[in-house]
Amino acid sequence: MANKRKIINDPVYGFITINHPLLFHIIAHPYYQRLRRIHQMALAYLVYPGAVHTRLHHSLGAYHLMCLAVNELKDKGIKITDEEDVAVKAAILLHDIGHGAFSHALENQILQNVHHEALSLAIMHKMNKELNGQLDTAIAIFTNQYPKKFLHQLVSSQLDVDRMDYLTRDSFFTGVSEGVIGYDRIIKMLTVHKEELVVEEKGIYSIEKFLVARRQMYWQVYLHKTVVAAESMLINIFKRVKELSNNGNDSLQTHGALDYFLYEYKGGVDEEVLKKFCELDDTDFSFAIKKWSNHNDFVLKTLCNALLNRNLYKIKLQYEAFDATYINELQQKAMQRFKVDESLIQYFVHSGTAINTLYKTEDEKINILYKDGSVKDISTIDNPLIHQTITAPIKKFYICSLE
């Protein structure tokens, strides 16, 4: 198997090459194959019909960019051993292995207060046992325990290959050209200084472009108002189901992997929870929503039919909070229209804030290496465009109502 090579067609980058037994093993693993059944962009396909690509596809893409980055750094004389080479690639292949059904949209809903990265790590440890420690270095890199910090930074930082791939890929599949970044140019500009990943000075315009593109993708795509409406609807469906099933009401049963989380799950993450979590994917929810569209609970049935047939909430999105009178007005209308009382109105009129909790921006540490050898954090650089992009608050208020 040592010399086996496989190439995979990717519409975004052309061809992706796999050439190491450990990487083959990871990709063939049922936990990895599960990512085929999880949409990368949750319900965004209801607005962008092409956005049906999967978590598996994204993680293959990020792996491909990692291959390019590693080659580029080696070509510049940075030392990366064969073991590190395969470990950093294993780490990126597995970085999203802990994503659950409908990704970010249902994050913190199925397993409350458990972040997908913690789950990724737990699953890596599980696979590592099966593999007798072959993932030790990959895990050290993933958890930033490895001495060569830049390897971790390639997997997870402001300029990691994860972000470069998801911006590029999401832009490609949605057709939103505003999100295109010069990933190849950025990769050509990467280098290592004191074991940290830095960007050469002449790459600054590409970074500028990267930051602006990310901002645009938030507003045009990730937080597009109709996407927010669809995802709110999905969350409300799940809330209603939990509410109903808490009474032990078995009419919610799907006769599939979801039932455990409706009836048995008590919180926390142990061996059993992890096993059950890995049996769950988008299929279970998609099927359940079709099934519940015939349920006799009026709220559940109404929301499921609405999502199924794309009669989404009408939504308003704005920079200021909505005033109470306006919300009240919408609620009164909905109560009349749907003949529901106040206890259920949250399912028909729903307000909140769209904020990029989904994507980290808190620590914009992108380090620029100047020709004179000095290094500056990008947030300290005198570039008005970058400043605005970094500091501009990405938060809006929304109100959804069913009509």
- Contact characters 283-322, its own copies, x per CB under 8 A: xx-xx--xx----------------xxx------------
Q: Does 326 engage in binding with its own copies (CB under 8 A)? A: no
Q: Give CA–CA dist 253/26, Å, rounded.
A: 33
Binding test (CB under 8 A) with its own copies, winner from 219, 260, 263, 397? 219
Q: Does 182 engage in binding with its own copies (CB under 8 A)? A: yes
Q: Does 240 engage in binding with its own copies (CB under 8 A)? A: no
> How many angstroms separate the first and last alpha carbons of the chain?
59
Q: What is the dihedral of CA 226, 227, 232, 235, to 10 degrees?
A: 150
Q: Give CA–CA dist 100/284, Å, rounded.
A: 11
> Minimal CA–CA distance to 97: which of 277, 228, 361?
277
Q: Does 52 engage in binding with its own copies (CB under 8 A)? A: yes
> Minimal CA–CA distance to 150: which of 196, 104, 119, 88?
196
127-156 residues in contact with its own copies (CB under 8 A) are none
16-35 residues in contact with its own copies (CB under 8 A) are 17, 19, 28, 30, 33
CB 175 within 8 A of CB 48: yes
Stretch near its own copies under the rule CB under 8 A, chosen from 135-143, 215-223, 324-332, 358-366? 215-223
Binding test (CB under 8 A) with its own copies, winner from 41, 42, 60, 354? 60
Residue 378 DSSP symbol: G
Q: Does 374 engage in binding with its own copies (CB under 8 A)? A: no
76-115 residues in contact with its own copies (CB under 8 A) are 76-77
Stretch near its own copies under the rule CB under 8 A, chosen from 141-149, 181-189, 228-236, 239-247? 181-189
**Closer to its own copies at the Cβ: 39 or 152?**
39
254-283 residues in contact with its own copies (CB under 8 A) are 254-257, 279, 283
Q: How far is the CB of 20 from its own copies (least distance, A)?
A: 12
Map 37-106 to HEC letters. HCECCCCHHHCCCCCCCEHHHHHHHHHHHHHHHHHHHHHCCCCCCHHHHHHHHHHHHHCCCCCCCCHHHH
